[in-house]
Amino acid sequence: MQLYNNLSAKERAELIEKAGKERLTISFYKYAKIGNTQIFRNHMFLAWDALDVLGRIYVAHEGINAQLSVPAENFESFKNHLDTITFLENVRLNIAIEHDNFAFLKLKVKVRHKIVADGLNDNTFDVTNKGVHVDAEQFNALIEDPDTVLVDMRNHYESEIGHFKNAITPDVDTFRESLDLIEEDLKEHKEDKKLVMYCTGGIRCEKASAYYKHKGFKNVFQLEGGIINYTRQVESEGLENKFIGKNFVFDQRRSERISDDVIASCHQCGKPADTHTNCANEACHLLFIQCDECKEKMENCCSSHCQEVIKLPYEEQKKLRKGQGNSNDIFKKGRADHLPYKKDLRNIFETQRKERIK
């Protein structure tokens, strides 16, 4: 039985290219009690590997969180397989609006402690006692309500390139930090304000909404399926789009354009830009926003130092990387003092708190 990848990313990319078939980029999650995570993990790997599914999937005792791509022709079989698993029957699949056949090049199903790194102690509250799920139409109406406080539950580098009009965009690295900040701001309004939240695909709100209910908030709402699902509904039902800019996503595409507005700036020259890049220096790998001109001039690097490093022989670069740990984790990145135009979201956030939480 083969339970792990045997192809390199390069070999896989060549296979996909040769097959020339459309792949769908899909994400889904479900909080559910999973007893033996390793057996469940192996079961999923075998079934999906056979269907040529690629992606990054986390399995934990609290549930499953999956970002993947599946050949369009295997979609039915994939869906049928999900339906054979009790807690995944009819699970909502978020299907991306822009597809990239190379969004994922490996199938990685990992057993983790949590399906989202959230820093919350699960035993303190019931994750399944969640907020009211609203669809795009209800959400549009709700966010016009003067009693609504709309909170973006994502991190600073995500909301920087796109968010809902009038949303509060906390300047945080993890949504755990947002929870306390918002609770503190709204402590006098747990019963009269409507706390409405959204994130990329809904998973962070699922937990956040349960957390706020546990903390005594009476009116907690969450955008079902997050921005990804909202965008699809807006398009298919002809609704007004209230999201401006780009939606940051966690695969090779980095983002999906939702509206033509470019709300961010190149972190190096300040010109309007909203494309994230990872610094080409492997030892740095900083996630930042870079315009096309700076990209060319800086050769994909975040600084002239990094530009020098990438020109060193490979062995010397490797020496420099030693002991730095895994810098590939983009979730921890996105801040650096040497980027003069990285938006100071702290100030923006402070203004939002004063203006919108009264």
By annotation, the residues acting in catalysis are: 199
Q: How far is the CB of 195 from Zn ion (least distance, A)?
A: 37
Q: Does 309 bind Zn ion (CB under 5 A)?
A: no
Kindly list the distances between the CA atom of residue 230 and the CA atoms of 74, 194, 224, 233, 253, in Å, as whole numbers in the listed order.
25, 19, 8, 5, 19
Question: How many whole angstroms separate alpha carbon 35 and alpha carbon 43?
Answer: 13
Question: How many whole angstroms separate alpha carbon 241 and alpha carbon 162?
Answer: 13
Which range, of 40-48, 175-183, 260-268, 311-319, touches Zn ion by CB under 5 A? 260-268
Binding residue (CB under 5 A) for Zn ion from 149, 291, 298, 339: 291
Which range, of 184-192, 198-206, 208-216, 274-282, touches Zn ion by CB under 5 A? 274-282
Q: Does 302 bind Zn ion (CB under 5 A)?
A: yes
Q: Does 223 bind Zn ion (CB under 5 A)?
A: no
Q: How far is the CB of 302 from Zn ion (least distance, A)?
A: 3
Which range, of 34-42, 95-103, 150-158, 264-272, touches Zn ion by CB under 5 A? 264-272
Tokens encoding 337: 């003092």
User: Measured on CA atoms in the order 223, 224, 227, 231, is the torsion positive or negative?
Assistant: negative
Q: How far is the CB of 295 from Zn ion (least distance, A)?
A: 8
The alpha-carbon radius of gyration of the chain (Å, integer) is: 21
Element (H, E) at 82: helix 75-83
How many residues are listed for the chain in this entry? 358
Tokens encoding 207: 């937990």
Q: Does 136 bind Zn ion (CB under 5 A)?
A: no
Which range, of 11-19, 64-72, 89-97, 259-267, touches Zn ion by CB under 5 A? 259-267
End-to-end CA separation in angstroms for the chain:
60
Of 74 and 265, CB closest to Zn ion: 265
Q: Does 277 bind Zn ion (CB under 5 A)?
A: no
Tally of CB atoms within 10 A around 336: 15
Q: Does 306 bind Zn ion (CB under 5 A)?
A: yes
Q: How many residues bind Zn ion (CB under 5 A)?
A: 11
Q: Does 281 bind Zn ion (CB under 5 A)?
A: yes
Q: How far is the CB of 75 from Zn ion (least distance, A)?
A: 39
User: Measured on CA atoms in the order 313, 314, 317, 322, is the torsion positive or negative?
Assistant: negative
Of 4 and 331, CB closest to Zn ion: 331
**Contact of 331 with 276, CB cutoff 8 Å:** no
Q: How far is the CB of 161 from Zn ion (least distance, A)?
A: 14
Site residues (vs Zn ion, CB under 5 A): 266, 268-269, 279, 281, 284, 286, 291, 294, 302, 306
